[in-house]
C-alpha cells in the first residue's frame, strides 16, 4: 500500500467518525425546531430520533458480514447516494413518516461508514500505534460534536430552516466520496488472499467477551451520565446556562484527552493503562456525584479527560485478541457499544422517574465500576501482548 493511499484511507476514517458525531450530537440542538415544524410535542419528537440510533445499530451489526460480500469502496459510494436521498427527504418531506425514514437511512449510512472507518484503522496499523491512531480518529467524533452544534446555533438564530443543518452535515460525506476516487481499499471475503481467510478462523477467546461487556457498560454509563447532568445540576440550584456549560466542559476535555492519549498510549501497555483510566474515571464520577456545585466543573473536566481513551482502547484491545483483526470481531465490539447507546433512556428514564437524576448518575457510576472490573479481569486472559510481539517480529 502506498503512503498516499494510506493517508486517504486514514482521512476517510477520520470523516466517518465526524459524520456520526455530527448526526448524534446535533440532535439536541434541532429537536425543538423540528417539533415545532411538525406541530408535535418535543417528547414525541425525541422518540422519533430513535430511528437514527436504530439505523446505526443495525448497520454496524450487519456490516460485519456485508464487508466480506460488498467491496468497501462500493459501500461508501452507495452510501453517498443514500445520504443525498435522505437529506432530500428531510428537505421535501412534509410528515413525520418521511422524516423517520430519512433519519433511519442517515443512521444506516452513518453506521456503515463508521464501521468501515474503524476497520480501516485496525487493518492498517499494528500494536500501540493502532491504539493511538484509533484514539485520534475517535477525536473527530467529539470535534464534530463541538463544531456542528455551533453551526446549528448560527443557522437557527438566523431563522434558517433546520434541515440546512443536515445539508451541512452531508458535506462531510461529500469529502468521504471525493477521497474514494482513485483510492484502493483492502480486499475482504472472497476477494481476500488465502492467508487472511485462514487467519479469520482463529478463536476470539474469552477476552472479547469481557471487552464487549466493557464497551456496552461504558457507553451506557457515559451517555446515561452526561444526559442527566443538566437536570442534576439544576436540582442543586444551578441555572440552565451553568448546567449546560458542564456538558460543554466534559466534551471539550474529552477531545483534548483524546489528542493527549493518542501520543501517551504509545509508551504503555494498553490493557494496564486502560485499567488505570477506567479506575480513575470511576473515582472521579463518584466525587462528582458527591461534590458541592462549586466543584462540579473541576471534576467533570477531569472525568472527561481521563475517560476519553477508554472506549477506543476497548475496541483496540478487541482487535488485538486475534493475529488479524477481522471485520466481525471489530464490529461485534462496536455493536455492543451501540447497544449501550440504544439502552440509554430505556434504562435511565425509569430510574429518573422513580428516584430522580442523581440516581441515574449513581447508576452510571456503577456501570463505570463494571468497566473497571472487566478491564482488570482482562489482564488474566488477554492475547494482545503475544500478538503485539508477532507484529513487531
For residue range 222-268, list pLDDT tens digits in order: 988 988 888 888 889 888 678 778 887 888 898 899 889 888 888 88
Let me know: does 371 contact 218? Beta carbons within 8 Å: yes
- Per-residue cell: 37: 415544524
Let me know: does 106 contact 94? Beta carbons within 8 Å: no
Which residue segments constitute the domains of the chain, with CATH numbers given? 3-192 (1.20.1250.20), 206-392 (1.20.1250.20)
Let me know: does 66 contact 190? Beta carbons within 8 Å: no
Assess whether pLDDT exceeds 60 at residue 385.
Answer: yes
Considering only residues 371 and 152, tell me which one the structure prediction assigns the higher pLDDT: 371
Let me know: does 273 contact 321? Beta carbons within 8 Å: no
Cα–chain center distance at 255? 13
pLDDT score, position 22:
87
Considering only residues 360 and 44, tell me which one the structure prediction assigns the higher pLDDT: 360
pLDDT digits (tens, 9 = 90+) for 173-226: 999 999 999 888 887 766 555 554 444 455 778 889 999 999 999 999 998 898
Range with the lowest mean pLDDT among 24-28, 64-68, 87-91, 158-162?
24-28
pLDDT-based confidence at 105, cuts 50/70/90? very high
Of 388, 375, 386, 390, nearest to 207 by C-alpha is: 375
Tell me the whole-structure pTM to 2 decimals.
Answer: 0.77
Let me know: does 111 contact 58? Beta carbons within 8 Å: yes
Let me know: does 96 contact 48? Beta carbons within 8 Å: yes
Assess whether pLDDT exceeds 90 at residue 110.
Answer: yes
pLDDT digits (tens, 9 = 90+) for 27-62: 767 877 888 888 887 666 767 777 888 898 888 888
* Pairs from 161-168 (Cβ < 8 Å, separation ≥ 24): 161/37, 162/30, 162/33, 162/34, 162/37, 163/87, 163/90, 163/91, 165/26, 165/29, 165/30, 166/87, 166/90, 166/106, 167/87, 167/91
Let me know: does 332 contact 212? Beta carbons within 8 Å: yes
- Per-residue cell: 279: 479506575
Residue labelled with grid coordinates 442523581: 358
For the chain, what is the mean pLDDT? 85
Let me know: does 366 contact 347? Beta carbons within 8 Å: no
Assess whether pLDDT exceeds 80 at residue 357.
Answer: yes
**How many CB atoms within 10 Å of residue 252?**
16
Let me know: does 233 contact 117? Beta carbons within 8 Å: no
Amino acid at each position: 500500500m502506498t503512503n498516499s493511499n494510506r493517508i486517504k484511507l486514514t482521512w476517510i476514517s477520520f470523516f466517518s467518525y465526524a459524520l456520526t458525531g455530527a448526526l448524534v450530537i446535533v440532535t439536541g440542538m434541532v429537536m425543538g425546531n423540528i417539533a415545532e415544524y411538525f406541530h408535535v410535542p418535543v417528547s414525541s419528537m425525541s422518540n422519533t430520533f430513535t430511528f437514527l440510533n436504530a439505523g446505526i445499530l443495525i448497520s454496524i451489526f450487519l456490516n460485519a458480514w456485508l464487508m466480506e460480500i460488498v467491496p468497501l469502496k462500493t459501500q461508501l459510494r452507495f452510501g453517498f447516494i443514500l445520504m443525498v436521498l435522505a437529506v432530500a427527504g428531510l428537505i421535501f418531506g412534509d410528515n413525520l413518516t418521511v422524516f423517520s425514514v430519512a433519519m433511519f437511512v442517515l443512521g444506516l449510512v452513518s453506521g456503515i461508514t463508521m464501521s468501515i472507518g474503524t476497520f480501516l484503522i485496525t487493518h492498517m496499523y499494528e500494536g500501540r500505534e493502532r491504539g493511538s491512531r484509533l484514539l485520534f480518529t475517535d477525536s473527530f467524533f467529539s470535534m464534530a460534536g463541538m463544531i456542528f452544534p455551533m453551526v446549528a446555533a448560527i443557522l437557527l438564530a438566523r431563522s434558517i430552516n433546520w434541515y440546512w443543518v443536515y445539508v451541512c452535515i452531508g458535506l462531510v460525506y461529500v469529502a468521504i466520496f471525493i477521497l474514494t476516487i482513485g483510492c484502493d481499499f483492502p480486499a475482504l471475503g472472497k476477494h481476500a488472499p488465502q492467508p487472511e481467510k485462514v487467519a479469520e478462523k482463529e478463536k476470539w477467546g474469552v477476552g472479547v467477551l469481557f471487552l464487549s461487556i466493557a464497551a456496552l457498560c461504558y457507553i451506557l454509563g457515559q451517555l446515561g451520565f452526561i444526559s442527566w447532568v443538566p437536570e442534576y445540576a439544576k436540582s442543586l440550584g444551578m441555572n440552565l446556562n451553568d448546567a449546560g456549560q458542564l456538558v460543554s466542559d466534559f466534551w471539550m476535555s474529552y477531545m483534548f484527552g483524546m489528542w493527549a492519549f493518542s501520543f501517551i498510549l504509545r509508551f504503555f501497555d494498553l490493557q494496564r493503562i486502560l485499567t488505570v483510566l477506567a479506575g480513575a474515571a470511576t473515582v472521579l464520577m463518584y466525587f462528582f456525584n458527591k461534590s458541592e456545585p462549586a466543584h462540579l466543573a473541576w471534576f467533570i473536566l477531569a472525568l472527561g479527560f481521563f475517560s476519553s481513551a477508554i472506549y477506543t482502547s476497548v475496541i483496540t484491545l478487541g482487535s488485538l485478541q486475534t493475529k488479524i483483526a477481522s471485520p466481525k470481531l471489530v464490529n461485534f465490539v462496536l455493536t455492543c457499544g451501540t447497544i449501550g447507546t440504544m439502552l440509554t433512556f430505556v434504562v435511565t428514564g425509569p430510574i429518573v422517574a422513580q428516584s430522580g437524576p442523581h440516581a441515574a448518575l449513581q447508576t452510571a457510576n456503577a456501570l463505570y465500576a463494571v468497566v473497571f472490573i472487566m478491564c482488570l479481569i482482562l489482564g488474566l486472559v488477554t492475547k494482545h501482548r503475544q500478538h503485539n510481539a508477532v507484529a513487531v517480529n
